Amino acid sequence: MDSTEAISFATLAVHAGREDLTELGVHAIPIDLSTTAPLPSITEGRDAYDLLASGQPLPKGMTTVYRRAWNPTVVRFEEAVAALESHGTDLHAEGIAFASGMAATTAVILSRVASGKPHVVAVRPLYGGTDGLLASGLLGTQVSFVDIDQVASSITDQTGLVVIESPSNPTLDLVDIAAVVKAAGEVPVMVDNTFASPVLQQPLKHGATFSVHSATKYLGGHGDAMGGIVVTDPDHAAGIRPIRTITGGVLDPWTAYLLHRGLATLPIRMKAQSETALAVATWLTQQPQVSQVFYPGLDGCDPQGLVGRQMTGPGAMIGFELSGGFAAAEHFVAQMQLITHAVSLGGIDTLIEHPAALTHRIVEESAQPGAGILRLSIGLESPQDLAADLARGFS
């Protein structure tokens, strides 16, 4: 394909990263399992190593030296996600894939600490792992957890990164990315785009520097492959690749193949799951035991009007709060027969979990979600079947 701008997002999701398959004489994505590569000469190996050490992508056909730094199957997945994140724009985006979403997040933070600016401004709520990592100071960071309207006033000459998540985990708060970018000024903004996926939101279009995904979730979509990816501009990508190589948080080729395969059905999965989520969220608002439902597609849950402006749809994640608190939540999840009680999200089957006890357990108590809040990741089941299963929780 000479241009990805002329084709639809759905078509790109099928074909990105596969452009040379006809030339290779294959139809499925090749999986390169080699851990090392034969070197044509010392000089060519040295030149490739120098490029990799500086964080530059290797030209096609150049020897890859060692697969911890560069694997062709992984590169296909990286190129495909970068194409989706920049679809319809003239942005030159590059992807860097990792063994997990937290490895991807860690690399972004380390790259900013290495730039000499260890202060991070973070807007809660965030995924619990990200929140806990920042709060720990493990990576040499000093963090200021702030509300949206405090971002600009919290920036100092030591601030290297602003971190947001939209929609947020687990209450689905929407954050105006462009407004945060404006408030951050020259400081790069990292957006956790896991809940939205590139189907619904493309943070780089709105000025963000980094769009980060737990690829384990919607990108893979089947709950059988763990990975992460950062999409950013070439300059920042060059600062992240060496961190991945040195720390070893690399994505293996088999998993890259599975995640890449998941991209082809991502648009239709997200469409179907979002439609079901709206039906289930609406049903939950009618249940007397539910004190609040968090879903951007409901009236009052998107006061800034970001769905339709920043996002193309409200997504497939739902949060809801039971008026009976923790005891009600404990009883509720125990009654599920169809819905699986488990962490993670974005797969083809519906999951339910208690954030305060699980995904956000390491967040400081004052910032944890309420004890009665449960999180639903809607799958591809019938909304009627899901509502029937949820009804058991109210028994």
Among residues 18, 67, 112, 217, the one annotated as catalytic is: 217
Helix (H, G, I), strand (E, B) or coil at 103: helix
Could you tell me how far CA 50 lies from the centroid of its own chain?
A: 30
Rounded Cα distance, 213 and 141, in Å: 21
Buried b (16+ CB within 10 A) or exposed e, 58-83: beeebbbbbbebbbbbbbbbbbbbbb
| Four-point Cα dihedral 329, 335, 337, 342, nearest 10 | 30
**127 is a catalytic site residue:** yes
Among residues 131, 192, 252, 302, the one annotated as catalytic is: 192
**68 is a catalytic site residue:** yes
Q: Please, which residues have CB within 8 angstroms of residue 345's CB and are 6 or more apart in sequence?
A: 194, 195, 217, 218, 317, 351, 375, 377
Among residues 49, 66, 68, 124, the one annotated as catalytic is: 68
119-123 and 142-146 strand pairing: parallel
Helix (H, G, I), strand (E, B) or coil at 229: strand
DSSP code for 48: H
Among residues 127, 218, 257, 295, the one annotated as catalytic is: 127
* Cα angle 302, 303, 309; round to 5: 65
Rounded Cα distance, 258 and 280, in Å: 29
Angle between helices 101-114 and 128-136 (to 10 degrees): 30
Whether the Cβ atoms of residue 290 and residue 330 lie closer than 8 Å to each other: no
- Structure tokens of 104? 């991807």
Which residues does the annotation mark as catalytic?
68, 127, 192, 217
